[in-house]
Chain A
């Protein structure tokens, strides 16, 4: 039984020659491939087949990659409930996976599978053809055991797209790998990001930092008193965006129309009521609550987000990169409630709120140290991946 995949590509041969020739990539069914079922894991899109390729898919095909199929995903990629992200890698059925990252899903899935998970800078990768949920936070994440594969795939899919104006012109990072000199690199830690750790977890994170210091990196202690506000801002703004953007799933043009409606209003209520699962429904209802009943709180959250953006930019100017703890015990259980879901992503949501690139590294095999997150300034993706390679090399 092939439990990792929701859809297997019936013709998994590559048609073009290119830098990704022979690389097997699993996507999720929220990335449009013409003719493939594209339901984003939701009953709202059950039976929907994409009409055209997403920009990412078009670029992967052109680079010679093999699309091996779409893995099972959580509803609209929100959280990891029902997600099989990372399993295809563990089963060695794929060399890399694309996993939607709304609040840290690609990093958590990577830690769960013991591989690397990368979330690019917001806007660096086109969202054309991506069936998303929270447009201002989401990004297609990359999972692989091998950072070279992640770099090559990112190099292929990144860059301006005439079908998506999200990436401002002239903002493309250069990908040719550059050696990273640890002695010329400052890594910042954030005191408040370590607050929730148990003494044992803290010890393991310390051990990771010690290894970096031994390799010659200078470590610098930084403070960001508002670090706790990231998940709060994410939850309010994310739910409002999701509620508004999911409005298109109204059963008028596609999706399943629930029977028995006497009028339009009925049709919407019955169809939308049947379309979404309980976790997502709770999220959309929460968003509608903030939009219609507590708009002031939503506006506050937007102001807080602007402040957090400035704070995060300050942190990454005081150090070249940040090192933050990974989520320990990632993927153990998939919570059914909103509160538990957000608690699970408390350590990762920050990167989605500010749109900065982040690389999740697994703990070294059998070691006492933990997994970590490396964070770079916006569009430092290439340098961040080079740093990741350096850190992995230390473990050899």
Chain B
């Protein structure tokens, strides 16, 4: 029998707020252990949680960015369990009335067809402390670091719409991009600011039956999520084939062995409404105000770039994944640079150079107006591509304008036919064999001659002009292969 997987995801995203969710402690879990604590996040007697407005705003932007519907009324509940990482015996979480319902993310499925993966709801909750297990001599000790206790989290719960590991991975990539673009979190699985649990079950393909699901935790990269789902599908399918029932439980992904292993579940009871944190009531006006703060979402921006600038969906997707990059591209086009040229220079020259220098695009000295000035000179044939690349690298180290650099360095391209004619004369005289080859229609020979003229001009000749002049002198056809030979 053939089986198909039914997968839903639960994604915890740590919001990049300045403070924790219910107190003013800095939200910096990585600091010296227990440096960022106070009576509230240690839940000392008499402490009262004060819900952070910033957490509400960042969580709301995240929900709106994922197409969710912010609820006019939401509230915190107490999720009771006893564990040393939980300072008060319960975690504040929105179990009954979540912040947002609905929404979803569009991806391309395994066969390249568009598919929408639905989000059931998004709720807010506080993070718990971190346990560190060590040996003190031969005595095992468990240390508790409360820096993370009370850090603001949202949990995104999807519908069980996923059928393949590919879909889960595409969803997570798109989710990460969208959350980053609203500015609510950096969503790094490596740093633990995005944590993914997967609920996985299998059923005979084509049926609609509800099978027993297994929850898998502890994947710390998007690839691991895919690998864990692959493993779980084959493990559960084998169980079913062997006639063994799948039992409801939780498993941990072991990234080294690439297997999931059963873990002991924590005891959890039903959640009771928290009597201390006030109910959150959002007015229409407040929600509209949040919506107006929302940047254009990557998927929509990509569509617009395709329609407006004639880019391919892949190019538009590449640019839109980072708001900075798409913004830079659009700034170039506003400065009059052709979209193709802007895309090409951004992707192949500027971004690699910025990355090599360990800089960020938005803080790089090569601003969009400076690069645009350079590219305009290129399009007017005042310089050639080689010179443009050279000038681009110099823009990182100087405040001078591209025009000044071109003038000072003598990069200006030679297009004057009389000046070029003299060079061509000399080259032709030195290479009679190549002339014969060109006349026999050998493209390589044409490229060779152009290269010789370029060399003689110390790289300043306009290669297009040189080719035109050579072609008319030798009465040879214009050959695209020859063009490739001079334009690297």
Per DSSP, are chain B's interface residues mostly helix, strand or loop, or mixed?
loop
Given contacts A135-B275, A253-B87, contact A248 B269 (CB under 8 A): no
Q: Which of B66-106 contact A (CB under 8 A)?
A: 78, 80, 82-84, 87-90
In the complex, B385 has a CB within 8 A of chain A? no
Indicate if the CB atoms of B270 and A252 lie closer than 8 Å: no
In the complex, A348 has a CB within 8 A of chain B? no
Contact with B along A283-316 (1 / 0, CB 8 A): 0000000011001001000100000000000000
Q: Which of B231-283 contact A (CB under 8 A)?
A: 269-270, 272-273, 275-278
Distance of A295 Cα from B80 Cα, bound (Å): 13
The interface on chain B, measured as residues whose beta carbon lies within 8 A of the other chain's beta carbons, has a size of: 27
Indicate if the CB atoms of A52 and B89 lie closer than 8 Å: no
Distance of A227 Cα from B46 Cα, bound (Å): 32
In the complex, A381 has a CB within 8 A of chain B? no
CB distance from A129 to the nearest CB of B (A): 4
Residues in A with CB closer than 8 Å to B45 are 32, 38, 40, 45, 48, 50, 131, 248, 254
Indicate if the CB atoms of B78 and A127 lie closer than 8 Å: no
User: Considering only CB atoms, which chain A residue lies closest to B270 in the complex?
Assistant: A295
Indicate if the CB atoms of A264 and B84 lie closer than 8 Å: yes
Distance of A247 Cα from B144 Cα, bound (Å): 17
In the complex, A136 has a CB within 8 A of chain B? yes
In the complex, B51 has a CB within 8 A of chain A? yes
CB distance from A285 to the nearest CB of B (A): 14
In the complex, A240 has a CB within 8 A of chain B? yes
Residues in B with CB closer than 8 Å to A248 are 43, 45, 87-89
Indicate if the CB atoms of B269 and A292 lie closer than 8 Å: yes
Indicate if the CB atoms of B48 and A127 lie closer than 8 Å: yes
In the complex, B44 has a CB within 8 A of chain A? yes
Distance of A302 Cα from B274 Cα, bound (Å): 13
CB distance from B56 to the nearest CB of A (A): 12
CB distance from B96 to the nearest CB of A (A): 10
Indicate if the CB atoms of A163 and B50 lie closer than 8 Å: yes
Contact with B along A78-96 (1 / 0, CB 8 A): 0000000000000000000
CB distance from A369 to the nearest CB of B (A): 38
Indicate if the CB atoms of A241 and B43 lie closer than 8 Å: no
In the complex, A165 has a CB within 8 A of chain B? yes
Residues in A with CB closer than 8 Å to B78 are 244-245
CB distance from B281 to the nearest CB of A (A): 10
In the complex, B354 has a CB within 8 A of chain A? no
Indicate if the CB atoms of B278 and A136 lie closer than 8 Å: no
CB distance from A306 to the nearest CB of B (A): 12
In the complex, B410 has a CB within 8 A of chain A? no
Indicate if the CB atoms of A54 and B44 lie closer than 8 Å: no
User: Considering only CB atoms, which chain B residue lies closest to A287 in the complex?
Assistant: B272
User: Considering only CB atoms, which chain B residue lies closest to A32 in the complex?
Assistant: B46
In the complex, A282 has a CB within 8 A of chain B? no
Residues in A with CB closer than 8 Å to B44 are 51, 253-254
User: Considering only CB atoms, which chain A residue lies closest to B82 in the complex?
Assistant: A268
In the complex, B42 has a CB within 8 A of chain A? yes
> Residues of B with Cβ closer than 8 Å to A?
39, 42-46, 48, 50-51, 78, 80, 82-84, 87-90, 144, 269-270, 272-273, 275-278
The 7 residue pairs across chains A and B that have the minimum distance between CB atoms: A247-B89, A136-B275, A248-B88, A135-B275, A131-B45, A129-B46, A32-B46
User: Mind listing 14 A-B residue pairs with CB under 8 Å?
Assistant: A38-B45, A51-B39, A127-B48, A131-B45, A164-B50, A244-B89, A247-B82, A247-B89, A247-B90, A254-B44, A268-B82, A291-B80, A291-B272, A302-B273
